[in-house]
Structure 1
Amino acid sequence: MRLIASDIDGTILGHDGSISSRTIKAFAAAAQAGVEIVFVTGRPPRWLDPIREQIGHTGTVICSNGALTYSLETETVVSSHLLDWATVENVRNTILGLVPEPHFALECLNGFHVEPGFFGASRPSGVEGVTPAELTAQLARDGIVKMLAVLHSGNADQFMELVRPQVGALISVTHSAPELALLEMGPLGVNKAVTLAEYARSRGIAAEEVVAFGDMPNDIEMLGWAGAGYAMASGHPDALAAASLRAPSFADDGVAQVIEARLADLRRV
Protein backbone atom coordinates (compact mmCIF):
# COMPACT_ATOMS: atom_id res chain seq x y z
CA MET A 1 0.00 0.00 0.00
CA ARG A 2 1.76 3.14 -1.24
CA LEU A 3 -1.25 5.37 -1.94
CA ILE A 4 -4.70 5.77 -0.40
CA ALA A 5 -7.30 7.40 -2.66
CA SER A 6 -10.51 8.31 -0.87
CA ASP A 7 -13.79 9.85 -1.86
CA ILE A 8 -15.09 12.43 0.62
CA ASP A 9 -18.89 12.74 0.90
CA GLY A 10 -20.59 9.67 2.34
CA THR A 11 -17.24 7.89 2.56
CA ILE A 12 -15.44 9.88 5.28
CA LEU A 13 -17.63 13.00 5.58
CA GLY A 14 -21.13 13.00 7.03
CA HIS A 15 -24.12 15.19 6.25
CA ASP A 16 -23.25 17.27 9.31
CA GLY A 17 -19.92 18.21 7.72
CA SER A 18 -17.78 16.30 10.18
CA ILE A 19 -15.10 13.62 9.86
CA SER A 20 -14.78 11.25 12.80
CA SER A 21 -11.75 11.45 15.07
CA ARG A 22 -11.00 7.79 14.35
CA THR A 23 -10.86 8.48 10.61
CA ILE A 24 -8.64 11.53 11.12
CA LYS A 25 -6.24 9.45 13.23
CA ALA A 26 -6.19 6.65 10.63
CA PHE A 27 -5.19 9.00 7.84
CA ALA A 28 -2.52 10.57 10.06
CA ALA A 29 -1.11 7.14 10.87
CA ALA A 30 -1.01 6.21 7.19
CA ALA A 31 0.82 9.41 6.31
CA GLN A 32 3.29 8.83 9.14
CA ALA A 33 3.93 5.35 7.73
CA GLY A 34 4.88 6.91 4.40
CA VAL A 35 1.65 6.21 2.54
CA GLU A 36 0.61 8.99 0.17
CA ILE A 37 -2.93 10.33 0.58
CA VAL A 38 -5.01 11.69 -2.30
CA PHE A 39 -8.65 12.68 -1.98
CA VAL A 40 -10.74 12.09 -5.08
CA THR A 41 -14.07 13.88 -5.14
CA GLY A 42 -16.86 15.36 -7.20
CA ARG A 43 -16.42 18.58 -5.20
CA PRO A 44 -14.76 21.66 -6.70
CA PRO A 45 -11.70 23.18 -5.00
CA ARG A 46 -13.73 25.79 -3.13
CA TRP A 47 -15.54 23.02 -1.20
CA LEU A 48 -12.48 21.32 0.25
CA ASP A 49 -12.57 22.95 3.67
CA PRO A 50 -13.48 19.73 5.55
CA ILE A 51 -10.22 18.03 4.57
CA ARG A 52 -8.23 21.25 4.91
CA GLU A 53 -9.52 21.98 8.39
CA GLN A 54 -10.23 18.56 9.90
CA ILE A 55 -7.57 16.31 8.37
CA GLY A 56 -5.02 19.02 7.69
CA HIS A 57 -4.44 17.70 4.19
CA THR A 58 -2.02 19.87 2.23
CA GLY A 59 -1.40 17.58 -0.71
CA THR A 60 -3.24 16.69 -3.89
CA VAL A 61 -6.99 16.53 -4.41
CA ILE A 62 -8.56 15.26 -7.61
CA CYS A 63 -11.72 17.35 -7.98
CA SER A 64 -14.84 17.52 -10.14
CA ASN A 65 -14.82 13.76 -10.84
CA GLY A 66 -11.35 13.87 -12.36
CA ALA A 67 -11.63 17.07 -14.38
CA LEU A 68 -9.23 18.94 -12.05
CA THR A 69 -6.10 18.09 -10.13
CA TYR A 70 -5.62 20.60 -7.33
CA SER A 71 -2.77 21.30 -4.93
CA LEU A 72 -3.79 22.36 -1.44
CA GLU A 73 -0.19 23.28 -0.71
CA THR A 74 -0.16 26.03 -3.35
CA GLU A 75 -3.97 26.44 -3.72
CA THR A 76 -3.63 26.12 -7.50
CA VAL A 77 -5.00 23.96 -10.30
CA VAL A 78 -2.24 21.59 -11.40
CA SER A 79 -4.05 20.22 -14.46
CA SER A 80 -7.52 20.25 -15.97
CA HIS A 81 -9.77 18.64 -18.58
CA LEU A 82 -12.29 21.08 -20.03
CA LEU A 83 -15.66 20.97 -21.78
CA ASP A 84 -16.23 22.98 -24.96
CA TRP A 85 -19.36 25.05 -25.42
CA ALA A 86 -20.62 23.07 -28.44
CA THR A 87 -20.78 19.94 -26.29
CA VAL A 88 -22.51 21.77 -23.44
CA GLU A 89 -25.10 23.22 -25.80
CA ASN A 90 -25.70 19.90 -27.54
CA VAL A 91 -26.14 18.03 -24.27
CA ARG A 92 -28.39 20.72 -22.84
CA ASN A 93 -30.67 20.67 -25.88
CA THR A 94 -30.85 16.88 -25.80
CA ILE A 95 -31.84 16.79 -22.13
CA LEU A 96 -34.42 19.53 -22.70
CA GLY A 97 -36.02 17.21 -25.23
CA LEU A 98 -36.07 14.25 -22.86
CA VAL A 99 -37.56 15.57 -19.62
CA PRO A 100 -39.79 18.44 -18.50
CA GLU A 101 -38.16 21.38 -16.73
CA PRO A 102 -34.54 20.37 -16.25
CA HIS A 103 -32.24 23.09 -14.95
CA PHE A 104 -28.54 23.45 -15.59
CA ALA A 105 -25.34 24.75 -14.01
CA LEU A 106 -21.69 24.96 -15.01
CA GLU A 107 -18.67 24.53 -12.77
CA CYS A 108 -15.85 26.64 -14.18
CA LEU A 109 -12.27 27.25 -13.19
CA ASN A 110 -13.30 30.66 -11.87
CA GLY A 111 -16.54 29.75 -10.12
CA PHE A 112 -20.02 28.26 -10.20
CA HIS A 113 -22.71 29.47 -12.60
CA VAL A 114 -26.38 28.44 -12.39
CA GLU A 115 -29.42 29.30 -14.43
CA PRO A 116 -32.66 30.49 -12.79
CA GLY A 117 -34.58 27.60 -11.22
CA PHE A 118 -31.55 25.40 -10.61
CA PHE A 119 -31.72 25.69 -6.81
CA GLY A 120 -35.46 25.02 -6.60
CA ALA A 121 -37.33 25.90 -3.43
CA SER A 122 -34.31 25.92 -1.12
CA ARG A 123 -30.76 27.04 -1.73
CA PRO A 124 -28.09 24.66 -0.38
CA SER A 125 -25.30 25.90 1.84
CA GLY A 126 -22.03 26.95 0.24
CA VAL A 127 -23.59 28.82 -2.69
CA GLU A 128 -24.90 31.90 -0.93
CA GLY A 129 -22.97 34.23 -3.23
CA VAL A 130 -24.08 32.59 -6.48
CA THR A 131 -26.58 34.66 -8.50
CA PRO A 132 -28.62 32.70 -11.07
CA ALA A 133 -28.24 33.97 -14.64
CA GLU A 134 -28.47 32.72 -18.19
CA LEU A 135 -25.67 30.33 -19.15
CA THR A 136 -23.89 31.62 -22.26
CA ALA A 137 -21.01 30.67 -24.51
CA GLN A 138 -18.85 33.29 -22.81
CA LEU A 139 -18.45 30.92 -19.86
CA ALA A 140 -16.33 28.61 -22.01
CA ARG A 141 -13.58 31.21 -21.75
CA ASP A 142 -13.60 30.62 -17.98
CA GLY A 143 -12.85 26.91 -18.46
CA ILE A 144 -15.87 24.62 -18.00
CA VAL A 145 -14.95 21.53 -15.99
CA LYS A 146 -18.38 20.14 -15.11
CA MET A 147 -21.96 20.45 -16.31
CA LEU A 148 -24.83 19.77 -13.92
CA ALA A 149 -28.46 18.97 -14.71
CA VAL A 150 -31.14 18.73 -12.04
CA LEU A 151 -34.78 17.72 -11.86
CA HIS A 152 -36.80 18.75 -8.85
CA SER A 153 -38.60 15.40 -8.85
CA GLY A 154 -37.64 11.76 -9.26
CA ASN A 155 -34.21 10.36 -8.46
CA ALA A 156 -30.74 10.37 -9.95
CA ASP A 157 -30.75 6.71 -11.02
CA GLN A 158 -33.87 7.18 -13.15
CA PHE A 159 -32.57 10.45 -14.57
CA MET A 160 -29.24 8.90 -15.52
CA GLU A 161 -30.86 5.84 -17.10
CA LEU A 162 -32.81 8.18 -19.36
CA VAL A 163 -30.03 10.63 -20.21
CA ARG A 164 -26.83 8.58 -20.49
CA PRO A 165 -27.85 6.56 -23.60
CA GLN A 166 -28.62 9.80 -25.43
CA VAL A 167 -25.53 11.84 -24.54
CA GLY A 168 -22.97 9.24 -23.48
CA ALA A 169 -21.09 9.57 -26.77
CA LEU A 170 -20.56 13.28 -26.07
CA ILE A 171 -19.91 13.60 -22.37
CA SER A 172 -19.21 11.54 -19.22
CA VAL A 173 -22.35 11.15 -17.11
CA THR A 174 -22.53 10.08 -13.46
CA HIS A 175 -24.09 11.07 -10.15
CA SER A 176 -23.21 11.22 -6.47
CA ALA A 177 -26.19 12.88 -4.77
CA PRO A 178 -28.21 10.12 -3.05
CA GLU A 179 -31.33 12.19 -2.43
CA LEU A 180 -31.45 14.45 -5.49
CA ALA A 181 -32.03 13.91 -9.21
CA LEU A 182 -28.74 15.61 -10.07
CA LEU A 183 -26.46 14.50 -12.89
CA GLU A 184 -22.76 15.40 -13.02
CA MET A 185 -21.29 15.55 -16.52
CA GLY A 186 -17.68 16.08 -17.52
CA PRO A 187 -15.30 15.75 -20.46
CA LEU A 188 -15.78 12.52 -22.40
CA GLY A 189 -13.53 9.75 -21.15
CA VAL A 190 -12.61 11.58 -17.94
CA ASN A 191 -13.48 10.14 -14.54
CA LYS A 192 -11.89 9.69 -11.14
CA ALA A 193 -9.97 6.59 -12.25
CA VAL A 194 -8.42 8.22 -15.33
CA THR A 195 -6.97 11.16 -13.44
CA LEU A 196 -5.96 9.09 -10.42
CA ALA A 197 -4.10 6.71 -12.75
CA GLU A 198 -2.30 9.66 -14.36
CA TYR A 199 -1.30 10.95 -10.94
CA ALA A 200 -0.15 7.54 -9.69
CA ARG A 201 1.99 7.00 -12.80
CA SER A 202 3.65 10.37 -12.25
CA ARG A 203 4.65 9.16 -8.77
CA GLY A 204 5.82 5.74 -9.94
CA ILE A 205 2.94 4.00 -8.15
CA ALA A 206 1.20 1.03 -9.75
CA ALA A 207 -2.53 0.37 -9.51
CA GLU A 208 -1.78 -2.70 -7.39
CA GLU A 209 -0.25 -0.41 -4.75
CA VAL A 210 -3.37 1.78 -4.46
CA VAL A 211 -6.16 1.37 -1.91
CA ALA A 212 -9.32 3.28 -2.87
CA PHE A 213 -12.58 4.04 -1.06
CA GLY A 214 -15.90 5.25 -2.46
CA ASP A 215 -19.65 4.94 -2.11
CA MET A 216 -21.45 6.27 -5.20
CA PRO A 217 -21.67 5.72 -8.99
CA ASN A 218 -19.04 8.40 -9.63
CA ASP A 219 -16.58 6.16 -7.73
CA ILE A 220 -17.17 3.01 -9.80
CA GLU A 221 -14.27 3.38 -12.24
CA MET A 222 -11.83 4.28 -9.46
CA LEU A 223 -12.85 1.28 -7.35
CA GLY A 224 -12.35 -0.99 -10.34
CA TRP A 225 -8.95 0.48 -11.26
CA ALA A 226 -7.32 0.37 -7.81
CA GLY A 227 -5.58 -2.78 -6.70
CA ALA A 228 -7.79 -2.73 -3.60
CA GLY A 229 -11.05 -0.91 -4.31
CA TYR A 230 -13.37 -0.76 -1.29
CA ALA A 231 -17.03 0.22 -1.65
CA MET A 232 -18.62 1.38 1.57
CA ALA A 233 -21.22 -1.05 2.91
CA SER A 234 -23.51 1.97 3.23
CA GLY A 235 -22.95 2.92 -0.41
CA HIS A 236 -24.97 2.84 -3.61
CA PRO A 237 -25.81 -0.66 -4.95
CA ASP A 238 -23.95 0.04 -8.21
CA ALA A 239 -20.76 0.95 -6.34
CA LEU A 240 -21.06 -2.17 -4.21
CA ALA A 241 -21.54 -4.34 -7.30
CA ALA A 242 -18.52 -2.82 -9.05
CA ALA A 243 -16.00 -3.13 -6.23
CA SER A 244 -14.07 -6.28 -5.41
CA LEU A 245 -13.88 -5.38 -1.72
CA ARG A 246 -16.28 -3.95 0.84
CA ALA A 247 -15.49 -1.63 3.75
CA PRO A 248 -17.74 -1.40 6.79
CA SER A 249 -20.35 1.34 6.61
CA PHE A 250 -19.66 5.04 6.96
CA ALA A 251 -21.42 5.06 10.36
CA ASP A 252 -18.97 2.40 11.56
CA ASP A 253 -15.87 4.33 10.43
CA GLY A 254 -15.34 1.83 7.64
CA VAL A 255 -12.44 3.67 6.01
CA ALA A 256 -10.62 3.93 9.32
CA GLN A 257 -11.17 0.23 10.03
CA VAL A 258 -9.63 -0.80 6.71
CA ILE A 259 -6.66 1.60 7.01
CA GLU A 260 -5.96 0.42 10.56
CA ALA A 261 -6.01 -3.23 9.48
CA ARG A 262 -3.76 -2.62 6.47
CA LEU A 263 -1.27 -0.64 8.53
CA ALA A 264 -1.20 -3.46 11.06
CA ASP A 265 -0.44 -5.89 8.22
CA LEU A 266 2.41 -3.65 7.05
CA ARG A 267 3.92 -3.61 10.51
CA ARG A 268 3.87 -7.42 10.62
CA VAL A 269 5.82 -7.75 7.37
Structure 2
Amino acid sequence: MRLVASDLDGTIVGPDNRISDRTVRAFRDCADAGVEIVFVTGRPPRWLTPLTDALGHAGTVICSNGAVTYDLGTARVLKARALALPDLFSAAAIIRKLYPAVRFAAETVDGFHLAPGFLDSGSEELPGAKAPAPLESSLTEADTVVKFLARVDGASPDEFLQRVRPAVSHLVSATHSAPTVPLLEMSLHGLNKSVTLADYAASRDIAPADVVAFGDMPNDVQMLQWAGCGYAMASGHAEALAAADKVAPAFADDGVAQVLESLLRRL
Protein backbone atom coordinates (compact mmCIF):
# COMPACT_ATOMS: atom_id res chain seq x y z
CA MET A 1 0.00 0.00 0.00
CA ARG A 2 1.67 3.16 -1.26
CA LEU A 3 -1.40 5.29 -1.99
CA VAL A 4 -4.84 5.52 -0.37
CA ALA A 5 -7.56 7.05 -2.54
CA SER A 6 -10.80 7.79 -0.74
CA ASP A 7 -14.18 9.15 -1.66
CA LEU A 8 -15.76 11.59 0.82
CA ASP A 9 -19.54 11.56 1.19
CA GLY A 10 -20.91 8.30 2.54
CA THR A 11 -17.40 6.91 2.76
CA ILE A 12 -15.65 9.09 5.35
CA VAL A 13 -17.90 12.20 5.51
CA GLY A 14 -21.36 12.00 7.05
CA PRO A 15 -24.56 13.99 6.49
CA ASP A 16 -23.36 16.36 9.21
CA ASN A 17 -20.31 17.17 7.04
CA ARG A 18 -17.97 15.73 9.65
CA ILE A 19 -15.23 13.09 9.70
CA SER A 20 -14.99 10.90 12.79
CA ASP A 21 -12.03 11.16 15.14
CA ARG A 22 -11.16 7.52 14.49
CA THR A 23 -11.04 8.10 10.74
CA VAL A 24 -8.92 11.21 11.19
CA ARG A 25 -6.42 9.21 13.27
CA ALA A 26 -6.29 6.44 10.67
CA PHE A 27 -5.45 8.84 7.85
CA ARG A 28 -2.84 10.61 9.98
CA ASP A 29 -1.28 7.25 10.81
CA CYS A 30 -1.12 6.46 7.10
CA ALA A 31 0.68 9.73 6.41
CA ASP A 32 3.09 9.09 9.28
CA ALA A 33 3.85 5.67 7.77
CA GLY A 34 4.77 7.28 4.45
CA VAL A 35 1.59 6.29 2.62
CA GLU A 36 0.37 8.92 0.18
CA ILE A 37 -3.24 10.07 0.47
CA VAL A 38 -5.47 11.56 -2.20
CA PHE A 39 -9.16 12.26 -1.83
CA VAL A 40 -11.34 11.65 -4.87
CA THR A 41 -14.77 13.25 -4.68
CA GLY A 42 -17.73 14.48 -6.65
CA ARG A 43 -17.61 17.68 -4.62
CA PRO A 44 -16.27 20.91 -6.12
CA PRO A 45 -13.17 22.53 -4.58
CA ARG A 46 -15.20 25.02 -2.55
CA TRP A 47 -16.90 22.21 -0.58
CA LEU A 48 -13.78 20.63 0.92
CA THR A 49 -14.01 22.07 4.42
CA PRO A 50 -14.21 18.63 6.12
CA LEU A 51 -10.69 17.91 4.85
CA THR A 52 -9.24 21.17 6.10
CA ASP A 53 -11.22 21.39 9.34
CA ALA A 54 -10.86 17.79 10.51
CA LEU A 55 -7.75 16.48 8.79
CA GLY A 56 -5.77 19.62 8.09
CA HIS A 57 -5.18 18.11 4.65
CA ALA A 58 -3.10 20.32 2.38
CA GLY A 59 -2.43 17.95 -0.50
CA THR A 60 -4.08 17.10 -3.79
CA VAL A 61 -7.81 16.49 -4.08
CA ILE A 62 -9.43 15.11 -7.22
CA CYS A 63 -12.77 16.92 -7.42
CA SER A 64 -15.92 16.94 -9.54
CA ASN A 65 -15.67 13.21 -10.35
CA GLY A 66 -12.21 13.61 -11.86
CA ALA A 67 -12.75 16.84 -13.78
CA VAL A 68 -10.67 19.00 -11.43
CA THR A 69 -7.30 18.34 -9.82
CA TYR A 70 -6.94 20.76 -6.93
CA ASP A 71 -4.13 21.71 -4.57
CA LEU A 72 -5.83 22.25 -1.24
CA GLY A 73 -2.78 23.83 0.37
CA THR A 74 -2.50 26.64 -2.17
CA ALA A 75 -6.22 26.71 -3.09
CA ARG A 76 -5.27 26.36 -6.74
CA VAL A 77 -6.79 24.42 -9.63
CA LEU A 78 -3.96 22.37 -11.11
CA LYS A 79 -5.96 20.97 -14.01
CA ALA A 80 -9.54 21.16 -15.25
CA ARG A 81 -11.10 18.94 -17.91
CA ALA A 82 -13.95 20.93 -19.38
CA LEU A 83 -17.16 19.78 -20.98
CA ALA A 84 -17.79 21.46 -24.35
CA LEU A 85 -20.94 23.57 -24.39
CA PRO A 86 -22.30 22.02 -27.63
CA ASP A 87 -22.13 18.58 -26.02
CA LEU A 88 -23.75 19.91 -22.85
CA PHE A 89 -26.66 21.49 -24.71
CA SER A 90 -27.11 18.45 -26.96
CA ALA A 91 -27.27 16.21 -23.88
CA ALA A 92 -29.76 18.59 -22.29
CA ALA A 93 -32.04 18.38 -25.32
CA ILE A 94 -31.98 14.57 -25.23
CA ILE A 95 -32.73 14.45 -21.50
CA ARG A 96 -35.54 16.98 -21.87
CA LYS A 97 -37.24 14.70 -24.42
CA LEU A 98 -37.07 11.84 -21.92
CA TYR A 99 -38.06 13.96 -18.92
CA PRO A 100 -39.78 17.20 -20.00
CA ALA A 101 -39.79 18.59 -16.44
CA VAL A 102 -36.04 18.12 -15.93
CA ARG A 103 -34.05 20.97 -14.37
CA PHE A 104 -30.39 21.68 -15.04
CA ALA A 105 -27.34 23.27 -13.45
CA ALA A 106 -23.69 23.55 -14.40
CA GLU A 107 -20.59 23.53 -12.21
CA THR A 108 -17.66 25.62 -13.44
CA VAL A 109 -14.26 26.22 -11.87
CA ASP A 110 -15.58 29.64 -10.82
CA GLY A 111 -19.04 28.85 -9.50
CA PHE A 112 -22.42 27.24 -9.95
CA HIS A 113 -24.89 28.17 -12.71
CA LEU A 114 -28.48 27.30 -11.82
CA ALA A 115 -31.29 27.12 -14.33
CA PRO A 116 -34.63 28.33 -12.88
CA GLY A 117 -36.27 25.74 -10.65
CA PHE A 118 -33.18 23.60 -10.13
CA LEU A 119 -33.36 24.09 -6.36
CA ASP A 120 -36.43 23.13 -4.40
CA SER A 121 -38.60 25.98 -3.23
CA GLY A 122 -37.29 27.17 0.13
CA SER A 123 -33.87 25.50 -0.29
CA GLU A 124 -30.89 27.23 1.20
CA GLU A 125 -28.83 29.23 -1.25
CA LEU A 126 -25.79 27.34 -2.48
CA PRO A 127 -22.39 28.95 -1.84
CA GLY A 128 -20.89 30.17 -5.09
CA ALA A 129 -24.18 29.96 -7.01
CA LYS A 130 -25.04 32.51 -9.66
CA ALA A 131 -28.51 34.01 -9.89
CA PRO A 132 -30.85 31.50 -11.61
CA ALA A 133 -30.99 31.91 -15.37
CA PRO A 134 -31.31 29.62 -18.41
CA LEU A 135 -27.94 27.95 -19.00
CA GLU A 136 -28.11 28.95 -22.66
CA SER A 137 -27.83 32.57 -21.56
CA SER A 138 -25.67 32.30 -18.45
CA LEU A 139 -22.92 30.03 -19.83
CA THR A 140 -20.36 31.29 -22.33
CA GLU A 141 -17.35 29.75 -24.04
CA ALA A 142 -15.22 31.44 -21.38
CA ASP A 143 -16.74 29.20 -18.70
CA THR A 144 -14.89 26.01 -17.81
CA VAL A 145 -17.78 23.61 -17.18
CA VAL A 146 -16.56 20.63 -15.17
CA LYS A 147 -19.92 19.09 -14.23
CA PHE A 148 -23.39 19.23 -15.77
CA LEU A 149 -26.29 18.34 -13.48
CA ALA A 150 -29.82 17.17 -14.23
CA ARG A 151 -32.60 16.74 -11.70
CA VAL A 152 -36.15 15.42 -11.89
CA ASP A 153 -39.03 14.62 -9.57
CA GLY A 154 -40.87 11.33 -9.42
CA ALA A 155 -38.04 8.98 -10.43
CA SER A 156 -35.56 6.97 -8.41
CA PRO A 157 -31.87 7.90 -8.81
CA ASP A 158 -31.11 4.53 -10.40
CA GLU A 159 -34.04 4.66 -12.81
CA PHE A 160 -33.06 8.17 -13.88
CA LEU A 161 -29.47 7.12 -14.55
CA GLN A 162 -30.39 3.89 -16.32
CA ARG A 163 -32.70 5.68 -18.72
CA VAL A 164 -30.52 8.71 -19.43
CA ARG A 165 -26.99 7.28 -19.50
CA PRO A 166 -27.31 5.22 -22.72
CA ALA A 167 -29.08 8.10 -24.46
CA VAL A 168 -26.26 10.59 -23.82
CA SER A 169 -23.24 8.26 -23.63
CA HIS A 170 -21.88 9.53 -26.97
CA LEU A 171 -21.74 13.06 -25.55
CA VAL A 172 -20.98 12.89 -21.83
CA SER A 173 -20.12 10.54 -18.99
CA ALA A 174 -23.11 10.23 -16.65
CA THR A 175 -23.28 8.92 -13.09
CA HIS A 176 -24.89 9.69 -9.75
CA SER A 177 -23.76 9.90 -6.14
CA ALA A 178 -26.85 11.04 -4.21
CA PRO A 179 -28.51 8.00 -2.61
CA THR A 180 -32.04 9.40 -2.49
CA VAL A 181 -32.13 12.36 -4.91
CA PRO A 182 -32.68 11.79 -8.66
CA LEU A 183 -29.69 13.93 -9.60
CA LEU A 184 -27.38 13.04 -12.48
CA GLU A 185 -23.78 14.23 -12.67
CA MET A 186 -22.31 14.50 -16.17
CA SER A 187 -18.81 15.33 -17.28
CA LEU A 188 -16.48 15.15 -20.25
CA HIS A 189 -17.04 12.05 -22.38
CA GLY A 190 -14.84 9.20 -21.13
CA LEU A 191 -13.97 10.92 -17.86
CA ASN A 192 -14.48 9.43 -14.41
CA LYS A 193 -12.64 9.31 -11.10
CA SER A 194 -10.32 6.50 -12.22
CA VAL A 195 -8.98 8.41 -15.22
CA THR A 196 -7.63 11.27 -13.13
CA LEU A 197 -6.56 9.00 -10.27
CA ALA A 198 -4.55 6.90 -12.73
CA ASP A 199 -2.79 10.03 -13.99
CA TYR A 200 -2.08 11.13 -10.43
CA ALA A 201 -0.66 7.75 -9.43
CA ALA A 202 1.47 7.52 -12.59
CA SER A 203 2.96 10.95 -11.90
CA ARG A 204 4.27 9.49 -8.63
CA ASP A 205 5.38 6.17 -10.14
CA ILE A 206 2.73 4.32 -8.17
CA ALA A 207 1.25 1.27 -9.87
CA PRO A 208 -2.45 0.39 -9.56
CA ALA A 209 -1.45 -2.67 -7.53
CA ASP A 210 -0.12 -0.35 -4.81
CA VAL A 211 -3.36 1.66 -4.54
CA VAL A 212 -6.11 1.04 -2.01
CA ALA A 213 -9.38 2.83 -2.86
CA PHE A 214 -12.61 3.37 -0.92
CA GLY A 215 -16.02 4.39 -2.25
CA ASP A 216 -19.73 3.83 -1.89
CA MET A 217 -21.69 5.02 -4.95
CA PRO A 218 -21.93 4.55 -8.74
CA ASN A 219 -19.51 7.42 -9.34
CA ASP A 220 -16.87 5.33 -7.51
CA VAL A 221 -17.26 2.19 -9.62
CA GLN A 222 -14.40 2.75 -12.08
CA MET A 223 -12.03 3.86 -9.31
CA LEU A 224 -12.78 0.74 -7.29
CA GLN A 225 -12.19 -1.43 -10.35
CA TRP A 226 -8.94 0.34 -11.30
CA ALA A 227 -7.26 0.22 -7.89
CA GLY A 228 -5.25 -2.83 -6.91
CA CYS A 229 -7.60 -3.20 -3.97
CA GLY A 230 -10.96 -1.47 -4.09
CA TYR A 231 -13.14 -1.44 -0.98
CA ALA A 232 -16.84 -0.62 -1.24
CA MET A 233 -18.58 0.42 1.94
CA ALA A 234 -20.99 -2.20 3.31
CA SER A 235 -23.49 0.65 3.52
CA GLY A 236 -22.89 1.56 -0.13
CA HIS A 237 -24.77 1.22 -3.41
CA ALA A 238 -25.16 -2.18 -5.06
CA GLU A 239 -23.12 -1.07 -8.10
CA ALA A 240 -20.17 -0.11 -5.91
CA LEU A 241 -20.37 -3.36 -3.98
CA ALA A 242 -20.44 -5.36 -7.22
CA ALA A 243 -17.41 -3.49 -8.60
CA ALA A 244 -15.17 -3.78 -5.54
CA ASP A 245 -12.66 -6.45 -4.63
CA LYS A 246 -13.56 -6.24 -0.96
CA VAL A 247 -16.17 -4.79 1.35
CA ALA A 248 -15.30 -2.39 4.17
CA PRO A 249 -17.52 -2.18 7.24
CA ALA A 250 -20.33 0.36 7.00
CA PHE A 251 -19.73 4.08 7.16
CA ALA A 252 -21.47 4.27 10.55
CA ASP A 253 -18.94 1.77 11.89
CA ASP A 254 -15.90 3.80 10.72
CA GLY A 255 -15.32 1.20 8.02
CA VAL A 256 -12.48 3.02 6.26
CA ALA A 257 -10.65 3.50 9.56
CA GLN A 258 -11.06 -0.19 10.41
CA VAL A 259 -9.54 -1.26 7.10
CA LEU A 260 -6.67 1.24 7.26
CA GLU A 261 -5.82 0.22 10.82
CA SER A 262 -5.62 -3.41 9.70
CA LEU A 263 -3.52 -2.62 6.62
CA LEU A 264 -1.11 -0.47 8.60
CA ARG A 265 -0.45 -3.31 11.02
CA ARG A 266 0.86 -5.33 8.06
CA LEU A 267 3.34 -2.69 6.85
- TM-score bracket relative to the smaller structure: over 0.9
Alignment of 1:22-101 (within 5 A): 22-101=22-101
Identity of aligned residues (%): 55
Alignment of 1:12-27 (within 5 A): 12-27=12-27
How many Å separate the matches in 2 of 1:58 and 1:227? 25
Q: Tell me what 1:257 maps to.
A: 258
Q: State whether residues 234 and 250 of structure 2, in contact with CA within 8 Å, keep that contact through their aligned partners in structure 1.
A: yes
How many Å separate the matches in 2 of 1:17 and 1:25? 17
Alignment of 1:219-238 (within 5 A): 219-238=220-239
Q: Match for 1:201: what amino acid?
A: A
> Secondary structure of the equivalent of 1:97?
helix
Q: Match for 1:173: what amino acid?
A: A
Q: State whether residues 80 and 145 of structure 1, in contact with CA within 8 Å, keep that contact through their aligned partners in structure 2.
A: yes
Alignment of 1:190-269 (within 5 A): 190-266=191-267
Q: State whether residues 111 and 129 of structure 2, in contact with CA within 8 Å, keep that contact through their aligned partners in structure 1.
A: no
How many Å separate the matches in 1 of 2:116 and 2:80? 27
Q: Tell me what 2:144 maps to.
A: 143
Q: Match for 2:48: what amino acid?
A: L
Deviation of 1:248 after TM superposition, in Å, equals 0.3
How many residue pairs were aligned? 266
Question: After superposition, what is the alpha-carbon deviation per residue over 1:226-258, rounded to whole angstroms, capped at 9, x for unaligned?
Answer: 001000000001100111111000000000000
How many Å separate the matches in 2 of 1:121 and 1:203? 46
How many Å separate the matches in 1 of 2:159 and 2:153? 13
Specify whether residues 121 and 128 from structure 1 end up closer, same or farther in structure 2 by C-alpha distance, changes over 3 A only.
farther
1:171 correspondence with 2:182: no
Q: Match for 1:117: what amino acid?
A: G
> Secondary structure of the equivalent of 2:112?
strand
Q: State whether residues 120 and 152 of structure 1, in contact with CA within 8 Å, keep that contact through their aligned partners in structure 2.
A: no
Deviation of 1:129 after TM superposition, in Å, equals 5.2
How many Å separate the matches in 1 of 2:9 and 2:124? 15
Runs of 4+ in 1 over 6 A off after TM superposition: none
Deviation of 1:38 after TM superposition, in Å, equals 0.3
> Secondary structure of the equivalent of 1:16?
coil
Q: State whether residues 62 and 196 of structure 1, in contact with CA within 8 Å, keep that contact through their aligned partners in structure 2.
A: yes
How many Å separate the matches in 1 of 2:124 and 2:141? 25
RMSD (Å), alpha carbons: 1.2
Q: State whether residues 231 and 247 of structure 1, in contact with CA within 8 Å, keep that contact through their aligned partners in structure 2.
A: yes
Deviation of 1:123 after TM superposition, in Å, equals 1.7
Q: What TM-score does the superposition give when structure 1 sets the normalisation length?
A: 0.96
How many Å separate the matches in 2 of 1:127 and 1:159? 26
How many Å separate the matches in 2 of 1:140 and 1:21? 44
Q: Match for 1:190: what amino acid?
A: L
Question: After superposition, what is the alpha-carbon deviation per residue over 1:120-168, rounded to whole angstroms, capped at 9, x for unaligned?
Answer: 2342564385421121264331211110000122221000111011101
Deviation of 1:206 after TM superposition, in Å, equals 0.4
Q: State whether residues 94 and 166 of structure 1, in contact with CA within 8 Å, keep that contact through their aligned partners in structure 2.
A: yes
Q: Match for 1:240: what amino acid?
A: L
Specify whether residues 235 and 20 from structure 1 end up closer, same or farther in structure 2 by C-alpha distance, changes over 3 A only.
same
Question: After superposition, what is the alpha-carbon deviation per residue over 1:23-77, rounded to whole angstroms, capped at 9, x for unaligned?
Answer: 0000000000001110000000000011111111100000000001000111111
Q: Match for 1:160: what amino acid?
A: L
